[in-house]
Amino acid sequence: MHTANPKPQPQPEDYRELDRKILRLCGELYDLDAASLQLKVINYLQTETRSQCCWLLLVSEDNHQLFCQVVGDKVLEEEISFPLMFGRFGQVVETKTSITLQDVSQEERGLLSSLLGFEPNSMLCVPVISQATGQVVALACTFNKLGGQRYMEADEHVIQHCFCYTSTVLTSTLAFQKEQKLKFECQALLQVAKNLFTHLDDVSVLLQEIIIEARNLSNAEICSVFLLDHFSHELVAKVFDGGVVNDDEKEFRIPADQGIAGHVATTGKILNIKDAYSHPLFYRGVDDSTGFRTRNILCFPIKDENEEVIGVAELVNKTNGPWFNRFDEDLATAFSIYCGISIAHSLLYKKVHEAQFRSHLANEMMMYHMKVSEEEVTKLLHSGIEPVQKIHPDFSEFTYTPRSLPDDSTPMGVLSMLEDMGFINTYKLDLHTLARFCLMVKKGYRDPPYHNWMHAFSVSHFCYLLYKNLQLSNYLEDIEILALFVSCMCHDLDHRGTNNSFQVASQSVLAALYSSEGSVMERHHFAQAIAILNTQGCNIFEKFSRKDYQRMLDLMREIILATDLAHHLRIFKDLQKMADAGYNPRSQSHRSLLLCLLMTSCDLSDQTKGWKTTRKIAELIYKEFFSQGDLEKAMGNRPSEMMDREKAYIPELQISFMEHIAMPIYKLLQEIFPRSAELYERVAANREQWAKVSHKFTIRGLPSNNSLDFLDEEFELLQSQGAFGDDSHRMNGCLDDDCDKHGQ
């Protein structure tokens, strides 16, 4: 290492002159601002060493950084920071020995030139050592000794002599300035708290505010906040860098045990990464694809009052330094407390609102429906449970039309089916509780044209038919079949005759409660089923073990949510793969998929009946659709074609529905259950019937009363012409009073 050129030591009179100058300097060091104090010391050093420029590199308390606030006679607007190992300067801190320009590499000289604004031709760097701790607290650097001379040992003594008197003042002023900075940060945190706690009513807006405040406090380039989903064990982000994901976009999810954010979520400890690319947990694929460069990361946990991790915040790229320092870590720790409190209260606020919505819905439902009286239960059970053969000889056949059963006979029909399947005996179901439950479910349905109790009964009856004709016991467990049957009963509870998109568009109470999760109506149907089970005297599963009870509710939730056709379309490829590979009853995923398929096939089972039933069902469905379309028009919205009575072309809509939805479903059912082939054949035959009468609509147009009765004339004409061959009696299921005569 090169040192300053040797020179005779200063004589006592020289020191006396220096002391007088130092005393004058110390008398001027009354500033509370460290930058102003440094400016005076630097001017003194420049004069006494006869240098063009001078600066002080201050050493951070954690010994990781060097930072500069003043260069020559200029106070920097933003301090400059260097890694402690910045070339040979870090060695000065470590060895406590001086260096000159000859000790510095060409690359380091180029960096010095860019910072100084001129080419240094000489330099002297002297460590400033604290008298209290013996540690290096700063590096005093002088550049370009006037006259083109080289720095001498005497210059080094001048610098050391200066800081014998001024280092204590300098360190004290820096400590005071740090306290002032902490005070400012505390005030900033109080303002942060005010800003955060005014946005508790909306979690997304709150998260956006957290990102803005975190980025401003830490001087980060980018910030992201993830919330921990304990149910799926994933970290979920809907807000990035201050931007909220649109409602129609999917939120971003990552496993809670992977990557940097996952590590922090798992350990609950802050992670400060100075070089992202060298860290084993960092995935640089995103940088490679976007062109963005991640230099450093500060990732910290967000905890609730129980010290449980509820989220993670990730700060990327320190903008006013090489990386995030210890001060940033302390600030992040303090900031995370405010975040945790605000997020926890925001989520609690949301739960309170949801509870209010549920209460409103429950009150609304109770106002609409009446409780089941004991007289109704006694009347239903007065003569015992009726055998299914007594209801109708063909009650267990796919050709039977359950809609032909009188409405007041349907509760007994439910009891008869449960008795015939053996579930009443197997699960020791209390008859009075079961009867009350059936009557309560029946009353839980409103009276829209299609999604009413008769639809639920028909769907439940088809589940019974599947059990009787396809030997479901060989494919599913008894508890799964019972869950399927009860779900069929409850799957459209409290249906209002409007679909999910209408609930969202109209900003209904249901949408406010369920829209963030999707499947608005299906979640409401399940919630109403649970409400009925929780009604006194209606819990048919009260004798179940805790494990079986929880499993029953989980199955019902899964099955009822599967009635959303959007869900069916999402899993259709998985259903096809299962059918192609062959059903495996030992596979939990196969059983789950099969339950979803069976529920959907039950829900659409009207399409497997005869033409008259199919035609009548279409009339009911479109009557309900058109009512929704009228409401949408009244709201100023444009309904879809199938909802618009002025634009709907029913035969083509039905053909499209059967080709793209119904027929693929029953085709899959046929592949898994060959005995169900007649169901697919009947759906296909009904599709052909719609095609044969389609041209009649072109000629006549849609009737003004939306009735499709005139299609019966075409059917009877085609039937008389032998269009359906010997199978016509199986096609002719109906809803008319004489419907049961066709089987005699």
Residues annotated as part of the active site: 451
Cβ distance 643 to 621 under 8 Å? no
CA atoms within 13 A on the CB side of 697: 20
Give the separation between CA 677 and CA 680, rounded to whole angstroms. 5
- Relative to beta strand 271-273, strand 297-303 is antiparallel
Query: How is 493-535 classified by DSSP, letter by letter?
Result: TT--S--HHHHHHTT-HHHHHHTTTS-HHHHHHHHHHHHHHTS
Using CB atoms within 10 Å of the CB of residue 80, give its burial: 0 to 12 exposed, 13 to 18 middle, 19+ buried.
middle
Residue 654 among known ligand-binding residues: yes
Contact criterion met (CB below 8 Å) for 75 and 98: no
**Tokens 């997304």 — which residue?**
204
- Residue 91: which residues within 8 A CB-CB, separation 6 or more? 99
**Spatial CB neighbours of 674, under 8 Å, sequence gap ≥ 6:** none
Would you say 382 is a known binding-site residue? no
Letter string b/e over residues 416-444, b meaning 16 or more CB atoms within 10 A of that residue's CB: bbbbbbebbeebebbeebbbbbbbbbbbb
- Any binding-site annotation on 279? no
> Cβ contacts of residue 166 below 8 Å, gap of 6+?
22, 25, 26, 29, 41
CA pair distance 303, 338, nearest whole angstrom: 9
Question: Is residue 420 marked as binding?
Answer: no
Q: Which helix (H) or strand (E) holds 71?
A: strand 65-71
Is 157 known to sit in a ligand binding site?
no
Is 452 annotated to bind a ligand? Reply is: yes
Is 451 annotated as a binding-site member?
yes
Pairing, β 252-255 against β 243-244: unpaired
β-pair partners for 227: 236, 311
**DSSP at 151:** P
Is 155 annotated as ligand-binding? no
Cα distances (Å, whole numbers) of residue 261 to 176, 217, 224, 258, 291: 36, 20, 10, 7, 21
Query: Concatenated DSSP letters for 381-445?
Result: HTT-PPPHHHH-TTTTSTT--GGGS-GGGHHHHHHHHHHHHTHHHHTT--HHHHHHHHHHHHHT-
Dihedral sign of CA atoms 615, 619, 620, 626 in order: positive
Among 270, 271, 260, 274, which Cα is nearest to 321's? 274
Query: Does the annotation flag 453 for ligand binding?
Result: yes
Our CA angle for 470, 473, 479, nearest 5°, is: 130
Radius of gyration over every alpha carbon of the chain, rounded to an integer in angstroms: 40
Return the closest-CA partner of residue 415 out of 474, 486, 366, 339: 486
Binding residues: 451-455, 491-492, 603, 654
Binding residues for AMP: 451-455, 492, 603, 654
Binding residues for Zn(2+): 455, 491-492, 603
